[in-house]
Structure formats: structure tokens, C-alpha cells
Amino acid sequence: MGIAVADAEARDSLAPVLLQFWTVIESSPQNNVDGTAVRPSARIVSIQRWSIVLLVAGGELNYIDRATLSVANKLIQDELGIPIAKMGLLLSAFLWAYALAQLPVGALIDRFGPRKMLGLGLFSWSVAQAAGGLVTSFGVFMAARFALGVGEAPLFPGGARVVRDWFGIRQRGFATGLLQSASSLGNFIAVPLLTFLMLTLSWRWMFFIVGAAGVLLSVVWWSIHRDPAEVRLTPDEVAYLTEGDANTTSAPPSFAEWKQLFAHRTTWGMIAGFFGTIYTLWLYTGWLPYYLEHERHMSVARVGIVAAIPYFFGCIGAVAGGWLCDYLTRRGWAPIAGRKLLVSSALLGLSACTVGVVLAQSNTVVLTFISVSLFLIYIASSAAWATVPIAAPSQYTASLGSIQNFGGYLGGALAPTVTGLIVQRTGSFSQALLLSAGLSLLSAAAYLLLVREPIQANTRE
């Protein structure tokens, strides 16, 4: 399907809400240094629309895939005879594989392009997901979950590269926010959708169907998306896409150049800031239903409804965070300074809200604090990912994004395990939540102090 035809169909069918959001993009032209307006061409806007629609669809599916094991946890445990301790290892296998795969995958995206790497990743993780419906033993299930983590690794670094490739500097924040909203949307719809499939068919068919959807989406991505090197751009289109970028070349970084990213304080600030953000996100992702049932004494039926509410606010926070990045840039803030302000402020607010969860007595107040926490987590996440396309030249975009995501998912992998150990020892979530609040505070300080000027190509601090 060609881009022009696809764009016409999109107006009538696919993601109408996302296309309405697009009026923000089209009504916010960039300006050259001489004050003249620079708008994306109709072709660029069409590519932008389809890129975001497909990335958001992939992001939602990404998070639905992650939730399948959690939803079917008890049925799988009973059918396969897996002890609860091993179920904990099974749940964490994805997170460790995902975190460790981040480091090489960013460099691969910068070398081979997001069209190839995201298409391959989407196809491979979907096959791994479908394979989960065939397993008959713990060891094979571990391998399938590990493969799922490796396959999903390219999505968000690749998304950052797509935003860098196809969006002007003043529209990258909002586009990133839309992409980040996919994770919250995926969490919001995963439990009811997967529960319906599991109860209507079986947990094995739930895995098959979600895997088949991913294989289909990988074909659509490969058919529609193009990297800039595959498109003959006009001089005006090149000017729009590269305005404000410095030291950008088409050559992918060598291994020596990739290693130099770790020589910059900005890189370490981004790693530390994302560690605290994703740690708290996965504390709630892994333990929120259990916390509401056992510590707040809500019924299972009530938890099934209220546990989705914070992720709705997370979706709003993701879009709002991206929009605020572009708003501050249009108001005269240096792009990296505006994003630094948003990440640090959101993490400070997150720390305060997490303490509020510990101190609150009313379930309504607790749910309010958790909802605001998810709102702030996704503001921080959007602003952190929006930092990636402007913190380094384009040939380093996916590499820097994957390094940041590696730091985040070290926190994500630790959070469920550390929280479980603390709750087992103390019988309460209070100390686990206070630890998370302290980590958010430290991450805010690290981001504020370490993230400074954009990284220049072939330089060291």
C-alpha cells in the first residue's frame, strides 16, 4: 500500500483520535533563524501520521504481550505444575532479557535503520508470544519469555529514531508523547481484553491470537514505513527535518564512537533519571492489584475495575508530557533545558505522591495519589524519551535511547523482586513504597545535575 493511499484511508478508518491530535502538529510550524515559517510537506505529514499510528499500535501490542503471563498466571501454574517461586522467575525473565538487549539493539537500529529492526523485532517477539501457547514445561516457557524480551527491545529506541528521522525539532516532543501513551493504553486495555480471550477460549489461544496479531502488524509496518534513506527528499523537506540539528551525518557510529556516549555526564543523568522512573512504574505494574487486595482490602471484583484507573491518567500524562516539551521549546526554552525541567519536576512530584500513598488512610485518597503518580511517571517518561532525539546527533539516537532504556529497565527488573522481598519480610508495602520515593528523589537530583548540553559527535567531556 502506498503512503498517499494509506493516508487517505487513515482519515476515515485508522486511529481517528490520533489524527485529530495531528492538528497540533500542523498548526505549529517551525521557524528558521530568519523568522520564516517552515512547515512539513504533505508527504512528510503523511509519513509522520502513519509512523505514529503504527508505532502506537506496536506499543499497545507490546504491553498487551507483556501482560499475558500475569493474566494467566494461576491457570498456567496449575496446568504445568510450576511452583510459585519459579513463577516469579518466569515473570522476571522478560524484564532481564529486555533490559540486557537494550545495549546492542540501539546500535543495530542506528546501523540498519528502524524499518528493518522494528519489523524484525515485531515479527520475532510475536512468534515468541505465540510459542508461549505451545509450551509444556518451565524451561521452554523461560526460553519463550526470554525471546519475547529480546524481540521487544527495539520498539522504543526505534521509535525515538523514527521521531528524529521524520519530525522537526519543535514537533518531536508531542510525537514522543503519543508514542509513550501506547504503553499506558496497552496496560489499560490488556487485563479486560486478555481475560475475555482466556475465559472465552483458553489461555493457550490467548497467546496464539495476540501473537498472530503481532505477525500481521509486522507485515503492515514493513509494507508502509520507510526510512529517510529510502525516500527522495526535497531540499525544503531536508531543511525541515534537520533544522536545529548539529554534527549529523548519515554514517552509523562505530563501536568506539558508541562507547564514547558513556563518557558524557548527560548520558549518565539520563540513565539515572530513567532508573527511578521505571522502577516506580514496575512497582505498580507488578504489584498494584495485590496491594489493593491485601493491604487496602478491596475485593477482587473491585480491583478489576479500579486498578485500570491509574493507567488512564498515565495515558493523559504521556501525551501532556510530550506536548509540554514542544510548548516550552516554542516559548523560547532550549529543548534540552525544557525536558530537563519536566523530568526533574515530575520525579520530585512522584516522590511526594508515593509518600502520600503510605500516609493516606482512605482508599479514595490512595487511589488518587497512585493515579497522580502514574500521570507524573508518564510525563517524566515522555520528556525523557523526547530528550533522546535532541541530546545527540541523529546517528546516535537509537543508541542513546537504548542506553537510557537499559538504565530504566534495570530498575524495572529490580522493582518487582525487591518489593516482594520487602513485603515478605515486613508484611507491608510501606517500606517498599518509601524506598521507591527515595529513588525517585535521587533520580530527580541526578537528572537535574548531570543532564546538561547536548552530546556532540566524536567528543568527550
User: What whole-number distance in Å separates Cα of residue 196 and Cα of residue 73?
Assistant: 15
Neighbours of 17 (CB within 10 A): 8
Would residue 28 count as lying in a domain?
Answer: no
**φ/ψ of residue 156, rounded to 5:** -75, -40
Residue 455, SS3?
Answer: coil
Q: Is the dihedral of CA 24, 451, 434, 280 positive or negative?
A: positive
Would residue 369 count as lying in a domain?
Answer: yes
Write out the H or E segment, with its range, that includes residue 241: helix 235-242
Which spans in 250-308 are helix H?
A: 255-260, 265-294, 300-306
In the structure grid, which three cell numbers stand for residue 447, read together?
Answer: 537528572
Would residue 189 count as lying in a domain?
Answer: yes
| Per-chain mean pLDDT for the chain | 82
| CA angle in degrees (0–180, nearest 5) for 344-437-357 | 115
Domain that holds residue 434: 41-229+252-450
Residue 18 above 70 pLDDT? Answer: no
Residue 19, SS3?
Answer: helix
The tally of CA atoms less than 13 A away on the side-chain side of residue 82 is 25
**φ/ψ of residue 2, rounded to 5:** -80, 160
- Total domains in the fold of the chain: 1
Write out the H or E segment, with its range, that includes residue 30: strand 30-31
What is 42-100 written as a DSSP string? HHHHHHHHHHHHHHHHHHHHHHHHHHHHHHTHHHHHHHHT--HHHHHHHHHHHHHHHHH
Helices (runs of H) and strands (runs of E) counted in the chain: 19, 2
Sorted by sequence, the CB contacts under 8 Å of residue 199 that are 6+ apart come out as none
61-75, 323-337, 374-388: range with lowest mean pLDDT: 61-75
Residue 280 above 80 pLDDT? Answer: yes
Amino acid letter for position 178: L
In the structure grid, which three cell numbers stand for residue 400, read together?
Answer: 542513546
Would residue 378 count as lying in a domain?
Answer: yes
Would residue 238 count as lying in a domain?
Answer: no
Highest mean pLDDT among 36-45, 199-208, 351-360: 351-360
State pLDDT tens for residues 205-252.
999 999 999 999 999 999 999 888 888 888 888 887 776 555 555 566
**Confidence (pTM):** 0.76
- What is the per-residue pLDDT for 323? 87
User: What whole-number distance in Å separates Cα of residue 303 and Cα of residue 307?
Assistant: 5
CATH code: domain of residue 86: 1.20.1250.20
Of residues 22, 356, 30, 318, the one with CA closest to residue 169 = 30
**φ/ψ of residue 37, rounded to 5:** -75, 140
Would residue 12 count as lying in a domain?
Answer: no
State pLDDT tens for residues 19-49.
444 444 444 455 544 445 567 788 888 888 8
Would residue 177 count as lying in a domain?
Answer: yes
Would residue 188 count as lying in a domain?
Answer: yes
